[in-house]
Amino acid sequence: MPNFSYSDLLPLGADATKYRLVSTEGVSVVKHGDKEFLQVEPSALVKLTHEAIHDINHYLRAEHLQQLTNIVKDPEASPNDRFVAIDLLKNANIAAGGVLPMCQDTGTALVMGKKGQYVLTTGKDEVAISQGIYDAYTKLNLRYSQMAPVTTWEEKNTGNNLPAQIEIYADSDHQDEYNFMFIAKGGGSANKSFLYQETKAVLNPTAFMNWLDEKLRSIGTAACPPYHLAIVIGGTSAEATVKTAKLASTKYLDSLPTKGSVKYLDNQGNPIDSDLAFKQITFAAPYSEIIEEFTISELISFLVGLQNLPSAFNVQAFEEFSELKTNPNKLIRDFSSGMKQKTKLTLALSAPRPFLFLDEPTTNLDLKSKTWFQNKLESEKDKLILIASNEESEIKYCQERIQILDFK
């Protein structure tokens, strides 16, 4: 059974957002015992929310402006692409004056808060945030977009853009911070979300790209650009997948890692430095490099200095283990391909490391050398050995096997 290890589902990188100071009123630091807490008054949340609703309706972020500029400069952009981008830049310039918003559809107000455990507030934070939204939509030149049901079949504009979607989460990674993201979700296609629950048969490059092309064409372009398209594959639940797509469309997830990671743990489940873990592994393959400008004596001395070989290992030990007779003046580049491979295997099997990974180990070996390799391998009882091979003879003595039937 693997040891317990926790990792955030969406591990975000550093926040590169450029912030401006709205006010210091209603924010203070209080001490309790030996700990300091950030105390935030409801009035500060009201003011912050009001300012945020104003800004998201009147300003585009620098990254979004750069995206539009890139379209204008892109030699592959169509005349229509440039027309739309230039008009949006004109709209952004007008909206920045603070009178007319960027779009007439000022949208449902969405607020996500992440509250550190050393942040203190009084009352219900959702009330103060709702007050800020109410103030912004009733005092600024913003259209009321929010509807509320009167009956199952009828709805009516609320006249103040409430209720808003407000979600506040505990944040243990930023204990003394209260972070927010504000979104005005309009009703156009740029803010539509689609959930497709498909089978695993779609998860291959050809089928997926054909499926994606079909779905993208069905979305159409019947609303205001700019379009931020986010595609999420998989997820822990349907609702989590849709929410992840919404966060991705706001650029909130841009700092996610672009590849997976490996955690190394000791027997107690404690993390081990990756460099330290790597030093427990020895690798050998026909394509792996050895320094061919060395003689075998020079190579052994070099590897002993790196602690890749035992300190007592020398040319004599090498010859006894490998059953090879070496010329002290002969460079490794002048070895035959079979002799090079046998040298790599000898050095790997002699390394004082508990894990040995061998890829196609008997490539370039003659029948006698293959028998030598099998005998040496069977004597290595204190190591974990992983062999990757297409040769049945190389893996017939492995206790456990994983077979890949189709690989490209």
- One-character DSSP codes across 58-89: H---HHHHHHHHHHHH-TT--HHHHHHHHHHH
For residues 15-23, average pLDDT: 90
* Residue of higher predicted confidence among 395 and 68: 68
As a whole number of angstroms, the distance between CA 295 and CA 210 comes to 55
- Of the pLDDT bands very low, low, confident and very high (cuts 50, 70, 90), residue 383 is confident
**Start and end residues for every CATH 3.40.50.300 domain found in the chain:** 272-395
pLDDT tens-digit readout, 68-87: 899 999 999 999 889 988 99
CA atoms within 13 A on the CB side of 315: 11
- Of the pLDDT bands very low, low, confident and very high (cuts 50, 70, 90), residue 189 is very low
Decide yes or no: CATH 3.40.50.300 for domain 272-395.
Answer: yes
- Of the pLDDT bands very low, low, confident and very high (cuts 50, 70, 90), residue 229 is confident
For residues 141-153, average pLDDT: 91
Cα angle for residues 126, 254, 167 (degrees, 5° grid): 10
Supply the pTM of this predicted model: 0.68
Instruction: Kindly provide the b/e burial profile for residues 185-209, where b requires at least 16 CB atoms within 10 angstroms of the residue's own CB.
Output: bbeeebbeeeeeeeeeeeeeeeeee
- Of the pLDDT bands very low, low, confident and very high (cuts 50, 70, 90), residue 149 is very high
Comparing 80-84, 91-95, 180-184, 224-228, the range with the smallest average pLDDT is: 224-228
pLDDT tens-digit readout, 201-213: 888 888 999 999 9
